[in-house]
Amino acid sequence: STVAALLQNLYQPTGGRLLLDGKPISEYEHCYLHRQVTSVEQEPGLFSGSVRDNIAYGLKSCSDEKVMAAAQAANAHGFIQELEHGLSTDVGEKGKQLAAGQRQCLAIARALVRNPRVLILDEATSALDVQCEQALQDWKSHGDRTVLVIAHRLQTVQSADQVLVLRQGELREHSELMEGQDLYSRLVQQLLE
């Protein structure tokens, strides 16, 4: 979560530099950065209103086709089509009319409809069922963007192109950690068996 906040320039690092396309993140205009970097948190922020309004929240014009394309990419289209009023269905206060996994899928769709260059999923798949999570793990299908997945479960990142581990305040590469015989390498070996 700290990494996600730093990437969104919500606060500055106490040491080192954080670069986006070779430029310090602090040099980007706030509005520009937030159009380019979108984050989905573990507990999505939905509001009382329709499914469509929750996905297109904050966008001046967004067609139903674009909303449904984002819903499909977030693996939410199936349950949306099953809702009595589809995109017009009211999700209730904080989305409480929906299951936790459905709320997370809507939050992911809200991020995808914006077509960000960097998508941060900060434990955003923790409430998804296995089938939905596996569908979303095809990160390459999410277009020409970087997807940063922050997760505590190894299964969530097993299909990622690169895995980095934040350990005791230091970012370390998966391959480096696999060379050792510590808890991390043993857990990965168990997962692969």
Task: Express each pLDDT in 71-104 by its tens digit.
Answer: 998 889 999 999 999 999 999 999 999 998 899 8
Same domain, 104 and 58: yes
Q: Answer yes or no: do 49 and 130 share one domain.
A: yes
Q: What is the pLDDT of residues 104-141, one digit of tens each?
A: 889 999 999 999 988 888 877 666 666 666 666 665 55
CA angle 157, 98, 84 (to 5 degrees): 125
70: helix, strand or coil? helix
How confident is residue 14, by pLDDT bands cut at 50, 70 and 90? confident
Q: Are residue 167 and residue 97 in the same domain, yes or no?
A: no
Beta strand segments in 123-186, E:
146-150, 164-167, 170-173
Residues 26 and 121 in one domain: yes
Q: Where are the alpha helices (DSSP H) in 77-182?
A: 77-82, 100-113, 130-136, 154-157, 174-179
Strand order in the sheet with 118-122: 37-40, 118-122, 146-150
Q: Say whether both 117 and 62 belong to one domain.
A: yes
Handedness of CA 28, 150, 92, 73 (dihedral sign): positive
Q: How many domains does the chain have?
A: 2
Q: According to the model, what pLDDT value does residue 135 have?
A: 62
Say whether both 10 and 62 belong to one domain: yes
* pLDDT (tens digit per residue) in 132-157: 666 666 655 556 788 888 877 777 77
β-bridge mates for residue 147, sequence order: 119
Q: How many helices (DSSP H) and strands (DSSP E) are in the chain?
A: 10, 7
Range of the domain at 54: 2-154
pTM of the model: 0.82
Domain identity same for 138 and 189: no
Q: Are residues 141 and 171 in the same domain?
A: no
